[in-house]
Amino acid sequence: MVSIKGLHKKFGKNQVLNGIDLSIGDGGIFAVLGPNGSGKTTLIKAILGMVVPNKGEIKVHGEDIRKNTDYRYKIDYLPQIANFPNNLKVKELIRMIKDLRGKAAHDERLIEVFKLQPFLNQKLGNLSGGTRQKVNILLTFMFDSPLIILDEPTTGLDPISLIRLKDLIQAEKAKGKTILITSHIMSFVEEVSDEIVFLLEGEIYFKGPIQELKTKTNQPDFEHAIASILTDNHA
Amino acid sequence: MKHILAFLLIFFTTSIGFAQLIEVCETCPISKIKQAIAQASNNDTIVVAKGNYKEYDIIVDKPLTILGKDYPVIDGELKGEIITIKSDNVTIDGLFLINVGMSYTEDFAAIRVKKSKNFVIQNVVLEKLFFGIYLEKSSYGKVFHNKIIGDAVQEYSSGNGIQLWHSNHIGIEQNHVQNVRDGIYLEFSDDCTIKNNFSAENLRYGLHFMFSNDDIYQDNTFENNGAGVAVMFSKNIKMYNNIFKENWGTASYGLLLKEINDAEIIGNTFEENTIGINTEGSNRVVYKNNDFIGNGWAIKVRGACYANQFIENNFLYNSFDIAYNSKVNDNVFNNNYWSNYTGYDLDKDGIGDVPYRPVKLFSYIVNRTPETIILLRSLFIDIIDFSEKVSPVFTPDNLLDNNPLTRRNTW
Amino acid sequence: MLKILKYSFYDLMRSRWSYVYFAFYLLLGILLLFLNNDLSKAVITLMNVIIVLVPLIGAIFGVMYYYNSKEFTELLLAQPLKRSSIFLGQYLGVALSLSVSLIIGLGIPFVFYGLFKSNAIWDFSLLLITGTFLTLIFTALAFNIALSNENKIKGFGYAILLWLFLAIIYDGLFLMTLIMFEDYPLDKLSLVGTMLNPIDLSRTLILLKLDISALLGYTGAIFKQFFGTNFGLIVSFTTLIVWVILPVLRIVFKSKKKDF
């Protein structure tokens, strides 16, 4: 699905990605983890083409992403910070994104799931953070793309919505889609992900199932496994 | 019909002066004008029928009327002067004169009047000329309703449309002069009236005065000449209700005044000239009720102009209203309307409460470095103009219109 | 790109600022015409205002829109859209909505005043064309500034500096240069100096209409050719178009290289 070779990215003097080689197969949920500033978001943005790499190659579905923007039709992306043009109404935003992507979408069902009907005629600027995140999720999941990228999807969600989100993710997985997630909530990651990619200082420190990580670090649970990586490397 | 007319003419002329009528035509016994003049006696009328007469150096040395019917063409074949009048009481009417000789040593004219009085030159059409109508030491004559169309290209090889030299009490009215050197030129000529003429596209001036006093010109239109009117070294000239238009170019003026005293410039319109009035060494001139519209400079004052009055004029949308090249001002500006005025009138008496300062710093700068004109209307220029307005350094600080009007003058 | 243009345009047309801008011009037009009762004078005053204000508003508004719509941009970037279409669409959205406000805001009072019966219509049209060009140019410059500066405050600062420089300081330096080298033939220099500043260029275009009598008073042959014939008009318009194209190309170029 996604294959990355020798990816380097520098912001000024700051080397954020330092030779990433990664290949993600078809189907399954992958979590990209790492401490703050380890390059998670940069990696995701590089896949999306929002960050231009200094070096390296990214292929999605076997196509080099530099050549064409059309591969993004096959990606649904949930950005980390859900900010939208404040003058637009929720309804208009949904219509606009549908218009831009020009694909059949199941927005109606998602509006139902997240109970967004009362907000449809409100301007985005007037919505609370949580509601906005729901709109954000709706915009992401309303298309049927084979690759879904979620950057901190749990931010600001109430418990019920969180459960719905998890259901949604599982449902998409069941359809055989590939899902890429970054999150700080370890329990969430542990619960949903099949495999994790652990980034540390711009390099891949670990890639594999959670179980493998636990054995590698000799820790009984996931959170401690992560913590031990961090303390080991900073000691 | 022809006979009745001829009869009537004979009847009238004979009854008044016992004069005879002599007919000239190409097939008549008398087929040359010269021949007719030789045969004519005083006060006779020579009627020239339509046709083409190749003659030059026609000398009219007795009081005669030469009357063209349907504009007979008299072709000078570029050999010299066509008609020379050397007698009083001569009338030339309705001729078409063409191909005057050109010379660098002699001023050949289509019609020259020499030391004569009481002449009338009217309804004459002149083309391909050197000088048109040349009045020399003559007086009490009339130049009326003539059409002079030259093809002048170079100043040194062309002559003037109507030229007066030492000639007094001449009336020049309703003439149309174009494409010559000076449309109308007066030198040492006093007490002349120039009225209702149209002078355009002339190389040098539409109308030109030199050392001529007590003349009046009014209701004329001067368009697109090298310069509209030049008045030089003359006194008591009255200039009323003329139109000076589109005289564009480097040394181009609507009106050029040089060493002029006691003139009156009233009711004229200066429109879209590079410089409306350029005045130099002129004193006690009254400028009143003139419209200055869309000129580059409405009035340029260059040195030594004293006791002039600029009152009740309209200055509308000129790039510059007044330009001075010195810091001294002895002239009065009062009750003018300035479209560039930005003051207010709180007491609503029609007079702005803040004086208007018509000379801008920028006009001083442009005077020094002409290329800076390209910065006209720039915000930076507005700022420096403003600071100069607040405290004048380069421009005369007493040059003010203390009573600028808030509405256009009407008269 | 047209879709982005459409959404940006609608978004802006609904924002308060467009109304403020529109209302400002409407008011200006009404004040000038109905307090003054003199169309020619109004056109001249308007010219002064347009030359100074339109670039300022274009620059500030461009920068402001860019920073304010950053999230919108990021949302769009994740969609299957070309970067150049996103930024050109946004740019055109801003520039066109500003131009529309200008043209309609000034147009309404002038039309009511009876512009179509007046011979000032050409001067007025020229004014609106130049105003539109200035909007296009300065919005493009603003987008360039914003694309190169992540820091909002810095971006605003540069935009205002740019305006200050081109509207005032440039002319000051220009004037000083001309006076310093007054012993040399300057007509080429002065024309080139004008071409290098879009505000001066627009001003010259208007001078060609309003002050042709004064401009023809100068001797230089190049000047004469420039101002005396249609040559000046053609060159000025061509250069204005170049002034639009260059910053727009840089928007395309810069946006391709930029990380978000």
Query: Are C260 and A45 within 8 A, CB to CB?
Result: yes
Residue C152 scores a pLDDT above 80? yes
Q: How confident is the model at residue B172 (pLDDT cuts 50, 70, 90)?
A: very high
B367: nearest CA in chain C? C218
Q: Do B377 and C182 touch (CB under 8 A)?
A: no
**Does position C120 have pLDDT exceeding 80, yes or no?**
no
Give ipTM to 2 decimals: 0.86
Q: What average pLDDT does range B104-115 have in this prediction?
A: 91
Do the Cβ atoms of C78 and A87 come within 8 Å?
A: no
Judge: C219–B294 Cβ closer than 8 Å, yes or no: no
CB contact under 8 A, B250 and C223: no
Band (pLDDT 50/70/90 cuts) for residue B3 is low
CA distance B403 to C47: 28
Which residues of A sit within 8 Å Cβ distance of C?
9, 11, 45, 48-52, 69-73, 75, 77, 79, 81, 83-85, 87-88, 96-97, 99-101
Q: Starting from the edge strand earliest in sequence, which strands make up the sheet with A203-208, in order?
A: A75-78, A147-151, A178-182, A28-33, A195-200, A203-208
User: Do C211 and B250 make contact, defined as CB atoms within 8 angstroms?
Assistant: no
Residue C72, pLDDT > 90, answer: no
Please give the pLDDT value at position B390.
84
Nearest residue on chain A to C17, alpha-carbon basis:
A87
What one-character DSSP code corresponds to residue B374? G
Confidence (pLDDT) at B7: 58
CA distance B213 to B189: 7
Q: Which residues of A touch C257 (CB under 8 A)?
A: 52
The number of CA neighbours under 13 Å toward the Cβ of B204 is 19
Q: Which residue has the tokens 């009907």?
A: A117
Given this model, what pLDDT does residue B52 score?
92
Q: Report the residue of A100, A101, A138, A145 to disrupt the C interface, i.e. the one with the largest count of C CBs within 10 Å.
A: A100
Structural domain boundaries of chain B? Answer: 57-390
Of C72, C82, C83, the CB nearest to A84: C72
Please state, in angstroms and rounded to a whole number, the distance separating the CA atoms of residues B15 and A229: 140
Residues of C in contact with A75 (CB under 8 A): 78
Question: Is B49 within 8 Å of B73 (Cβ atoms)?
Answer: no
Select the residue of C79, C81, C257 nearest A52 (Cβ to Cβ). Answer: C257
Among chain A residues, CA nearest to C16: A87
Q: B1 pLDDT exceeds 60?
A: no
Q: Do C213 and B339 touch (CB under 8 A)?
A: no
Interior/surface letters B100-131, b for 16+ CB within 10 angstroms, e for the rest: bbbeeeebbbbbbbbebebbbbbbbbbbbbbb
pLDDT reading at B259 higher than 60: yes
For residue B397, the SS3 value is coil
pLDDT surpassing 80 at residue A1:
no
pLDDT-based confidence at B398, cuts 50/70/90?
confident
SS3 B88: coil
Tell me which residues of chain C have a C-beta less than 8 Å from any C-beta of chain A: 3, 7, 11, 14-15, 69-72, 74-83, 256-260
pLDDT class for B212, splitting at 50, 70, 90?
Answer: very high
The answer to whether B317 contacts C44, with C-beta atoms less than 8 Å apart, is yes
C138 or A49: which leads in pLDDT: C138
Contact at CB, A101 and C78, closer than 8 angstroms: no
Does A235 have pLDDT greater than 70?
no
**CA dist A211 → A218, A225, B34, B196 (Å):** 10, 10, 134, 112
* Distance of alpha carbon A138 from alpha carbon B38, whole angstroms: 116
C81 contacts in chain A (CB < 8 Å)? 69, 72, 100
| Residue B18 pLDDT greater than 70, yes or no | no
Work out the average pLDDT over B372-395: 87
Average pLDDT score over residue span B234-253:
89
Show residues of chain B in contact with C187, CB under 8 Å: 371
C61 near C141, Cβ under 8 Å?
Answer: no
pLDDT digits (tens, 9 = 90+) for C169-211: 999 999 999 999 888 888 888 888 999 999 999 988 888 877 7
Instruction: Identify which of A71, A84, A99 has the shortest CB distance to residue C75.
Output: A84
**Cβ <8 Å between C214 and B248:** no
pLDDT of B95 > 90? The answer is yes
> How would residue A220 be classed by pLDDT, with cut points 50, 70 and 90?
confident
Using a threshold of 3 CB pairs under 8 A, tell whether chains B and C touch: yes
pLDDT tens figures, A186-213? 888 888 888 888 888 888 888 888 888 8
| pTM: predicted TM-score of the whole model, two decimal places | 0.81
Confidence band (pLDDT; 50, 70, 90) for B299? very high
A chain contacts of residue C80, beta-carbon cutoff 8 Å: 69-73, 101
Nearest to A72 among C15, C71, C78 (CB): C78
Whether residue B295 and residue C40 make contact (CB cut-off 8 A), yes or no, is: no
Q: Chains meeting B at 3+ CB pairs closer than 8 A?
A: C
CA dihedral of A193, A199, A200, A205, whole degrees rounded to 10 = 80
Q: What is the mean pLDDT of residues B49-55?
A: 92
The sheet carrying A2-11 orders its strands as: A14-24, A2-11, A55-60, A63-64
Question: C196 touching B, CB under 8 A?
Answer: no
C9-36 pLDDT per residue, tens: 877 777 788 888 899 999 988 888 877 7
Residue from the list A52, A81, A97 with its beta carbon closest to the beta carbon of C259: A52
Identify the H or E element spanning B47. strand B45-48
Domains and CATH numbers, chain A: 2-234 (3.40.50.300)
Model confidence at B14: pLDDT above 60: no
Cβ distance C220 to B371 less than 8 Å, yes or no, reads: yes
> CB-based contact (8 Å) between C119 and chain B?
no
**CB of C54 less than 8 A from some CB of B:** no
- DSSP code at position B49: P
Q: Evaluate whether the domain defined by B57-390 bears CATH number 3.40.50.620.
A: no
Across the strands, what pairs with B146?
none
Question: What is d(CA C171, CA C51) in angstroms, rounded to the nearest whole number?
Answer: 13
Nearest CA to CA, how far is A106 from chain C (Å)? 17
Residue A199: the pLDDT is 85
Dihedral Cα C150, C156, C157, C160, nearest 10 deg: 140
CB contact under 8 A, C78 and A88: no
Interface of B with C (CB under 8 A): 248-250, 252, 272-275, 294-297, 316-317, 319-320, 339, 365, 368-383
Give yes or no for residue C94 having a pLDDT over 60. yes
The stretch B199-227 carries a mean pLDDT of 93
Q: Which of A69, A83, A85 sits opposite C82 (nearest CB)?
A: A69
The pLDDT-based confidence of B4 (bands split at 50, 70, 90) is low
Whether residue C208 lies within 8 A of chain B, CB to CB, comes out as no
Cα distance from N-terminal residue to C-terminal residue, chain C:
19
Which of A168 and C211 is assigned the larger pLDDT?
A: A168
What ranges in chain A are assigned the alpha helix state H? 40-48, 90-101, 107-113, 129-141, 159-174, 186-192, 210-217, 222-234
pLDDT of residue B222: 94
Q: Residue B370: its chain C contacts at CB < 8 A?
A: 217-220
- How many CB pairs below 8 Å do chains A and C form together? 60
By C-alpha distance, the chain C residue nearest B319 is C211
Average pLDDT over residues B36-59: 92
Which contiguous run of DSSP H or E holds residue B3? helix B2-17
Burial class (CB in 10 A: 0-12, 13-18, 19+), A65: buried
- Contact state of C11 with A50 under an 8 Å Cβ cutoff: no
DSSP per residue, A147-173: EEEEESTTTT--HHHHHHHHHHHHHHH
Q: Across residues C138-149, what is the average pLDDT?
A: 94
Look at residues A88, A174, A74 and name the one whose alpha carbon lies nearest to residue A123. Answer: A88
Higher pLDDT, residue B326 or B147: B147
Residue type, B233: F
Mean pLDDT over B162-167 rounds to 95
CB atoms A81 and C71 under 8 Å: yes
- Mean pLDDT computed over C83-108: 90
Q: Give the gap in angstroms from C-alpha B37 to the nearest C-alpha of chain C.
A: 52
- Ranges of each domain in chain C: 2-257
Are C211 and B377 in contact by the 8 Å Cβ rule? The answer is: yes
Q: CB distance C259–A69 less than 8 Å?
A: no
Residue B9 is predicted with a pLDDT of 56
**Chain B neighbors of C191, CB-CB under 8 A:** 374
**Of C55 and B391, which is predicted with more confidence?**
C55
pLDDT digits (tens, 9 = 90+) for B264-288: 999 999 998 989 999 999 999 999 9
Total residues found in chain A within this entry: 235
Mean predicted lDDT score pLDDT of chain B = 90
Evaluate if residue B211 carries a pLDDT over 60.
yes
Give the C-alpha separation, B143 to B178, whole Å: 16
Is the predicted pLDDT of residue A36 greater than 90, yes or no?
no
- Structure token digits, residue B386: 């403003």
Would you give the DSSP letter of residue B139?
Answer: B
Q: Shortest CB distance from A85 goes to which of C11, C79, C259? A: C11
pLDDT of residue B5: 60
Percent of chain C with pLDDT over 70: 98
Percent of chain A with pLDDT over 70: 98
Mean pLDDT of A29-33: 89
- Contact exists between C and A (3 or more beta carbon pairs < 8 Å): yes
Q: What is the CA radius of gyration of chain C?
A: 20
Give ∠ CA A179-A184-A187 in degrees, rounded to 5: 80
Residue A215 has pLDDT above 90, yes or no: no
